[in-house]
Structure 1
Amino acid sequence: MLAHVDSYHHKRAEFADHNLYVTKYRDGELYAGGKYTNQSRGGTGVRAWADRKESVVDEDIVVWLQLALQHVTRVENLSIMPCEVIKMQLKPINFFDRNPALDVPPSKQEFNRSTLVAEQHQQPAVEGRVEEDGEVCCSSEL
């Protein structure tokens, strides 16, 4: 954030100095900038909530993620702005202590098993030709 630490911009925009905050869930804490961001003097948003330094172990948490982009204008943008894409993905790593699919019993569906078909039992290949009118003709076995 470019605003000085003592400015009201910095005090009000509590969400803008870090990309990620994790806080313990509390009713009423709905907006990262506080309830009335433009009218506040600071201290009512996510920075103040994170400064409580509450333990979040085995608690309901809220992950506050801030994504932003800076649109650098170009001559090609006149008179419209092209689409800017921001992506975020939450992907658990080592969430389980073992693979939960290891204890799945094997399938006992006899009708659904793959089987190897011997070459002598395979269907013969068939060749066909498509005429100009779209009809298939002249089928013959190879």
Structure 2
Amino acid sequence: MAVERVWLDVPFAEKDEAKKGGARWDPAAKRWYAPRAGMPALRRWAGAPDVPDLLPGEDRGLGSGLFVDLVPRSCWFTNVRSCVTARDWERLRRTITRRAGRRCETCGAAEDRGAGRWLEAHERWVFDDTARV
């Protein structure tokens, strides 16, 4: 009998709590799931719809490779992750890493947690000096 999978959006910091509630990890999908519908302990992590592969306003034509971008001081220490909920960040991170084939878009290396090599999501910004936006 196949296990029914009800996908969950579990932030990394809450994984142990979700596991205690009965959540299971799918290593191939790299995502938590409930083994059956209607588990009250997991309701708070009910999966939201996936984020589209191309985000509204996103420009994928900025090029590829390693970039050193100047970021205005007003944007220092600010990023998308700090501006959205942990659940929404998990959804964005999952979409972006899947879109990149779970590989670095600069060098092509895959994540290797045993070697301490993590896959990170980075942002590209375009700054309009005239409008200061």
Q: Same fold by TM (over 0.5)?
A: no
Relative to its length, the structure with more strand (as a share) is 1
RCO comparison, higher one (Cα < 8 Å, 6+):
2
TM-score (norm 2): 0.21
Relative to its length, the structure with more helix (as a share) is 2
TM-score (norm 1): 0.20
